[in-house]
Chains A and B, each alone.
Chain A
Amino acid sequence: MNSLFELQNIKTPPVWKERLNGKVSQGKSLREPTYRKFPVMAAVLMIVLLMSGTALAYALTGGEFFAKLFMQKAETNSADYSYIDVSQLSAIAGKTIGTVVDTDQLRIDVTDVVSSGSDAMVALCVTAKQLDSVLRYTGWDEVPLNNYRFGSEDGTIFNNMESATVRYIYSDEDTSLAPNQFYLVLTITSLDGFKDSPYTVALQSFGYYDRLAATGNGVGVTTLYKGPWKINLDLSQDTDHSRTILLNRKVDIGEYNYDLEGIYLTPFSCTAVISYEGDPDLSEERFKEVSVKASDFALYTTDRTPVKHGEVSLQNGGTDQPDSTYHITVHLEVPANVKDVLRIHIFGKNFDISPVINDAGQK
């Protein structure tokens, strides 16, 4: 175990201490919720501002931004997305599309908001009014890291979340954007659904990543504008386009027994909820076991087409639930009509599910 002495090379970046000192010296602000950062993503897209009147009008129609986004994915990918259903997005759009937060530095337009059951997606178009470009090209492997972005994305919309994705879309990916614009697309899955609308998105520390910033030892955002910018969002509390399938079936995962309580389907995700009664000392062991076995999670439509999904996310506990309850979620690559999903495969078993009228998708 002498090799563990290599751990002494892990030193605290001085910039961490500097930031801590800054927060401590602010005193009262420490009583506010602390910030949270997410891994950043870039992707492809289209639209909006400083563009033609047609583009702006288009952006103000609920659900259309995301419909276009998903259709573009389906059309440019060789996978079978024949089950895609974007027609439902307009019915689950929020009412705050078109809201603008305008300051001297940034203009933020709410381009689109859709939500159903436990899932919400938000698209914001950000214009850096005093910058010619929000892109920073300093090397082939630095481009995503150095583009302008927010150092913190937070707000009540992330409360009690099961998982969240933050995507940044720049003009190098979507040529309809001006060089000083980008889209910020948030995808949030809540443990308890979105029942308390309106929600907020709070953005802070607009700047760019620079791996060599400050100390040469840490990674951080070089902040140009501190903010914060707060956007209020009125989410649809739709449940008509989601489904709850209560199963209460026993499943074995490794050497443990679980109760598969139910399956929760929305146009964007599928969540299986399992629970156990037992020794909480083993919860980490169980978490590991479940996380491995949960990767075998598949959905099939009416004609047995596999519904494409991304990585499996796992969360235990919730507002009203103990740590012995697990939520296993797959996020669909394109939206599906939940009534078309007829079979779930998880933990080595198939569960046939038939649509039930008046199901509710909230957990």
Chain B
Amino acid sequence: MKATDLSRADISFEAVVSQYADMVTRLCCLNLNDINQAEDCWQDTFIALYKSPSVLEKTIPEIRKWLITVTLNKCRNLNKRQFLRRHENIDELAIPTYDAYASQVVDALRRLPPAYSQVIYLHYYEGYSVPELASLLARNENTVKSQLKRGREMLKGVLELE
């Protein structure tokens, strides 16, 4: 599943956006609670890339890892800001949802704690190995292994409940 269509000679800001836009979108959508925040995070990630031209001098796998790391950091920062909702009925209507992306598995993944959904997504969908994930997420390999195992169990539990 790893995207390797981009060759070194093709690397440009536009090409990287084109190649990895959906990957960053998926990370944002799985880690954030509303689509406006997801777009903010998506925009901020690629603007950070635009403002860091030296990143484009890296290898393609390194650029991809850089995008994942930056996206997850930005998601984490946004999640720290838990915005308060005091006027429940109207408020719920006012917060945009992920209707366009509704699916059982997406919903189930978003219910997992981020530490688990991240390793599940990056391992099973993006194809990163356990050692690669340990390096990418700054976790030790045993932690990643146990999060994959526990994440699978939690995901199965959530899917069975639905």
Contacts and interface: CB of A to CB of B under 8 A. Distances in A.
A43 B93 CA distance: 12
Interface string B86-114: 11001101111001110111100100011
B127 to A, nearest CB: 11
Interface in B31-67: 34-37, 39-40, 42-44, 46-47, 50-51
Contacts of A288: 113, 115
B136 interface: no
B44 A10 contact: no
Given A20-B46, A23-B43, A34-B47, A39 B25 contact: no
A311 B86 CA distance: 8
A24 interface: yes
A340 B51 CA distance: 51
B84 A144 contact: no
Contacts of A203: none
B4 interface: no
Interface residues of B, number: 56
A357 interface: no
A331 B87 CA distance: 13
A311 B85 contact: yes
Contact of A37 (B36, B120, B138, B159): B36
B129 interface: no
Given A4-B124, A9-B101, A12-B22, A30 B42 contact: no
A12 B96 CA distance: 16
Given A31-B51, A39-B94, A219-B35, A11 B22 contact: yes
Contacts of A37: 36-37, 40
Contacts of B13: 24
Nearest to B35: A219
A261 B19 CA distance: 48
Given A163-B81, A163-B82, A3 B105 contact: yes
Contacts of B39: 13, 16, 19, 218, 220
B50 A30 contact: yes
A145 interface: yes
A43 B91 CA distance: 9
A41 B81 contact: no
B105 A41 contact: no
A166 B84 CA distance: 9
18 contacts: A3-B105, A6-B103, A9-B106, A10-B26, A10-B106, A16-B39, A19-B43, A20-B43, A23-B43, A24-B50, A31-B51, A41-B94, A164-B81, A164-B83, A165-B83, A167-B86, A315-B80, A331-B86
